[in-house]
Amino acid sequence: MTDTRRVQLVDAFTTEPMAGNPAGVVPEAADLADDQMAAIASELGASETAFVGSSDEADYRLRYFTPEREVDLCGHATVAAVASLSDRDEVADGTHTVETEVGTLDVEVEADGTVWLTQSPPEIREVDVSLDEVADALGLDTPALSEVGEDLPIARASTGLPFLVVPVGYFEQLSAVEPDLDAVETLCEETDTEGLYAFTFDTLEGEATLHGRSFAPLAGIPEDPVTGTASGAVGAYLRYQAALDTEDPLVFEQGHFLDRPGRVLVDTREGEEGATAPRVGGRAVTTLDGDLTIPESDEDDIIEA
């Protein structure tokens, strides 16, 4: 008997279709085997696909697959999956929990459709890499990094997934980035990070805090349009470096160089007991909704999503 499964493509961190970051969403994945999930993710071709299953520890379990491998967490795919569940009235406005490979996380759905994901407590440390090596990997002259690097050092920041955070002086310099993906991959391996996030405070929109670009060749993603996990990590990094002069949620713009502009809301405010895990938020739009015929599993045992 042919097995079909409902699949969606959902654009996260945008209110416009064909913008933001597209994620695959499989709303009913509890009985899918790993190789079936991998095949679906490869067929959909989004940078990540979220598979929604049941959980004994949370309201839902989410697993994430790129076209090449499983990853522990994906911010934009989480926003996409929860927004999809909300659109179908399967989750109400308010706070819910999702089980992931990095632990159980809180998600909040607001009345306007904004989905907030509370990430893991931040881990931030400086790394021993040279400005010349990083500049070469990005196709930039070293002064593009050194002019801002005196105040904001290159660092490894994680709120669930680790990223190499690279401050860049000006928007013109960030726009000129032409990454050597092999060199970026080597940098990420050396610093134990999943990707590189370069940013500048020089923005296109006046209300935006920064403009970012994210490169994750280790996950098979040359450049990611709009990156939720990295945005939370960078927000925590900026708070750690005392580089923020506001307690209001931040606005990170990204994706314009891929013609998929989007914005991530980042909340790094401290709670009553001090530093807390950051939250990232945004809206999402479903652009494709249909059924996909899936192959039979070659695995003996099905591991629930």
Residues 104-109: contacts with CB under 8 Å, at least 24 apart: 104/57, 104/58, 105/78, 105/160, 107/78, 107/82, 108/279, 108/281, 109/82, 109/83
For residue range 270-288, list pLDDT tens digits in order: 654 545 789 999 999 999 9
Stronger pLDDT, 301 or 124, i.e. the higher one: 124
- Distance, in Å, from the CA atom of 23 to the CA atom of 79, rounded to the nearest integer, reads 9
pLDDT of residue 303: 46
Mean pLDDT rounded to a whole number for the chain = 93
CB–CB of 229/163 below 8 Å?
A: yes
pLDDT of residue 179: 98
pLDDT of residue 270: 67
CB–CB of 202/174 below 8 Å?
A: yes
Q: Which fold has domain 7-106+285-299?
A: Diaminopimelate Epimerase; Chain A, domain 1 (3.10.310)
1 band by pLDDT with thresholds 50, 70 and 90: low
* pTM, to two decimals: 0.91
Domain ranges of the chain: 7-106+285-299, 123-282
3-state secondary structure 38-62: HHHHHHHCCCCEEEEECCCCCCEEE
pLDDT of residue 300: 57
* Residue whose C-alpha is closest to residue 48's, from 29, 63, 27, 33: 63
Q: Which residues of 130-164 are buried (b: 16+ CB within 10 A; e: fewer)?
A: ebeebbebbebeeebbeebbeebebbbbbbbbbbb
Stronger pLDDT, 245 or 266, i.e. the higher one: 266
pLDDT of residue 302: 47
178 classed as catalytic: no
Stronger pLDDT, 296 or 208, i.e. the higher one: 208
166 band by pLDDT with thresholds 50, 70 and 90: very high
pLDDT of residue 5: 93
* Residue whose C-alpha is closest to residue 61's, from 51, 71, 72: 51
- Distance, in Å, from the CA atom of 128 to the CA atom of 96, rounded to the nearest integer, reads 39
Residue 117 sits at φ, ψ, to 5 deg, of: -115, 120
219 band by pLDDT with thresholds 50, 70 and 90: confident
Helix (H, G, I), strand (E, B) or coil at 270: coil
Catalytic residue among 16, 28, 48, 296: 48
Pair of tokens at residue 53 = 């299953």
Q: Which CATH number fits domain 123-282: 3.20.20.70, 2.30.30.40, 3.90.550.10, 3.10.310.10?
A: 3.10.310.10
Domain 7-106+285-299 matches domain 123-282 at the CATH topology level:
yes
